[in-house]
Chain A
Amino acid sequence: EADIYQTPRYLVIGTGKKITLECSQTMGHDKMYWYQQDPGMELHLIHYSYGVNSTEKGDLSSESTVSRIRTEHFPLTLESARPSHTSQYLCASSDTWATEAFFGQGTRLTVV
């Protein structure tokens, strides 16, 4: 069982609200990722981190931002939620590049 946790599991929120999706891992992994999973199930990388104080944008443009102040914590923030942000967000971590990535259970976000 992977030691990576996402909260909340489900979130319904109104347009314009600021939200933060939490992701924590206890494996000491340097590499962390955020993926957006659309209704067709495809996974798109939106952010990743090499380690503390490093964040990079992924392939899919996203209005969200991330921070990495501690190794174990990689939160994702949306300053002003919109219906187009409705999706499932998956957090993952890995020890190095090109090794097993461990995924959290995901946060299903609905913006109304």
Chain B
Amino acid sequence: GENVEQHPSTLSVQEGDSAVIKCTYSDSASNYFPWYKQELGKGPQLIIDIRSNVGEKKDQRIAVTLNKTAKHFSLHITETQPEDSAVYFCAASSDYKLSFGAGTTVTVRA
């Protein structure tokens, strides 16, 4: 089955700086790579996703890159703000399920 590894497990950044989270996956058949943000007391919510036929996608301050050859994908958050503090999960999907990484707790320091 799919195995997704996510690093780092915690990340502390100064407000205004960038944050980068990296994930690797094992199943070359995976073709859908979403990123979820989970705030305290809430369920995860999709923030951006990318499919295997695209190398990069951007949505305002958030961008995701995908390297299919190396089987890794990354989330980039620029100009971080206090409301970006949350747990972020990467995931990979090839068919019926999403396999999640272990999560990254991001803290944005004011």
Interface of A is mostly: loop
The listed residue (B34, B42, B96, B105) touching A48 by CB distance below 8 A is B96
The answer to whether residues A90 and B103 also contact, given A45-B97, A59-B1, A97-B96 and a CB cut-off of 8 A, is no
CB distance from B96 to the nearest CB of A (A): 5
A101 engages B98 (CB within 8 Å): yes
A33 engages B97 (CB within 8 Å): yes
How does the 8 Å CB contact mask read for B23-54 relative to A, with 1 for contact and 0 for none?
00000000110101010011111100100000
Tell me how many residue pairs across A and B have CB atoms closer than 8 Å. 60
B32 engages A104 (CB within 8 Å): no
Q: Count of chain B residues with Cβ under 8 Å from any Cβ of A?
A: 26
Assess whether B89 is interfacial by the CB under 8 Å rule.
Answer: yes
CA distance A56 to B95 in the complex (A): 14
Which residues B80-106 have CB closer than 8 A to chain A?
87, 89, 93-100, 102-103, 105
- Choose, from A13-21, A36-44, A73-81, the stretch at the interface: A36-44
B46 engages A100 (CB within 8 Å): yes
* Residues in chain A near residue B103, CB distance under 8 A: 40-43
**A-B contacts, 15 listed (Cβ < 8 Å):** A2-B43, A40-B103, A41-B38, A42-B102, A42-B103, A43-B44, A43-B103, A48-B96, A90-B43, A100-B34, A101-B46, A103-B43, A105-B41, A105-B42, A106-B43
